[in-house]
Amino acid sequence: MATYLGTHGSRIQNYTTDPDNPNTGEVWYNDTANTLKFQYVNTNAAGSWSTGGSLNTARKETSGVGTQTAALVIGGAPLTGKTESYDGASFTEVADLNTARNQNGSAGTQTSALTFGGEPTASNGAFTESWNGSSWTEVADLNTARRTVGSAGTDNTNALVFGGFSTTSVANTESWNGSSWTEVSDLNSARSSLAGSGKLNTAALAFGGTPPISALTESYNGTSWTEVADLNTGRAGISGFGTSTSALGVAGYVTSPTKLANAELWNGSSWAEQNDLSTARYQAAGAGANNSLGLVAGGEGQPGSEIASTEEWNGAGTIEVGAWSTGGSLNTARSNLMGAGTQTAALKFGGRSPDTGATEKYNGTSWTEVNDMNTARSQGGGSGTQTSALVYAGEPPSNVRDLTESWNGTNWTAVADLNTARNLATGSAGADNTSALAFGGGAAPKAYCEQWNGSSWTEVNDLNTGRYNMAGSGIVTAALGYGGTSGPPVQALTESWNGTNWTETGDLNTARSILGGAGTENTSALAFGGEGPPARMAFTELFNGTNWTEQNDLNTARDGLTGSGTSTAGLAFGGNDGSDSAATEEWNVPSFTTKTISTD
CATH of 48-314 given 2.120.10.80, 3.20.20.70, 3.40.190.10, 3.10.180.10: 2.120.10.80
23, with CB counted inside 10 A (0-12, 13-18, 19+), is exposed
- Looking at residue 28, its pLDDT comes to 84
**Coil/strand/helix, residue 597:** strand
484: left (phi over 0), alpha (psi -120 to 50) or beta: left
**Across the strands, what pairs with 437?**
429, 451
**Cα separations in angstroms, 190 against 63, 182, 237, 266, 580:** 21, 18, 15, 21, 67
Q: By C-alpha distance, which of 316, 266, 273, 344 is closest to 564?
A: 344
Question: In the chain, which residues have pLDDT < 50?
Answer: none
Pairing state between β 27-30 and 13-15 = parallel
**Cα separations in angstroms, 456 against 285, 308, 392, 428, 434:** 49, 39, 12, 16, 9
139, with CB counted inside 10 A (0-12, 13-18, 19+), is middle
- Looking at residue 121, its pLDDT comes to 83
- Looking at residue 32, its pLDDT comes to 84
In the chain, domain spans: 4-41, 48-314, 333-588
Distance separating alpha carbons of residues 335 and 354, to the nearest angstrom: 10
E-only strand ranges, 315-453: 323-326, 338-341, 346-349, 359-362, 367-370, 381-384, 389-392, 404-407, 412-415, 427-432, 435-439, 449-452
Q: Could you tell me which CATH number the domain at 333-588 has?
A: 2.120.10.80
Distance separating alpha carbons of residues 27 and 24, to the nearest angstrom: 9
Cα 261 to chain centroid distance, Å, stands at: 15
Phi/psi for 8 (5° steps) reads: -105, -10
Q: By C-alpha distance, which of 427, 391, 394, 426 is closest to 408?
A: 391
Q: By C-alpha distance, which of 552, 525, 422, 539 is closest to 490?
A: 539
Instruction: Give ∠ CA 209-301-481 in degrees, rounded to 5.
Output: 135
- Looking at residue 20, its pLDDT comes to 75
Q: What is the DSSP string of 108-173?
A: E-SSSEEEE--BSSSS----EEEE-SS-EEEEPPPSS--BS-EEEEEETTEEEEE--BSSSB---E
- Looking at residue 40, its pLDDT comes to 80
- Looking at residue 547, its pLDDT comes to 81
Query: Taking the CA atoms of the chain, what radius of gyration do you get in angstroms?
Result: 28
Q: What is the mean pLDDT of the chain?
A: 94
For the whole model, what pTM was predicted? 0.75
- Looking at residue 399, its pLDDT comes to 76
**Across the strands, what pairs with 371?**
none
- Looking at residue 594, its pLDDT comes to 81
357, with CB counted inside 10 A (0-12, 13-18, 19+), is middle
459: left (phi over 0), alpha (psi -120 to 50) or beta: beta
Q: What stretch of H or E contains 5?
A: helix 4-8
Distance separating alpha carbons of residues 320 and 306, to the nearest angstrom: 34
Distance separating alpha carbons of residues 337 and 352, to the nearest angstrom: 7
- Looking at residue 156, its pLDDT comes to 98
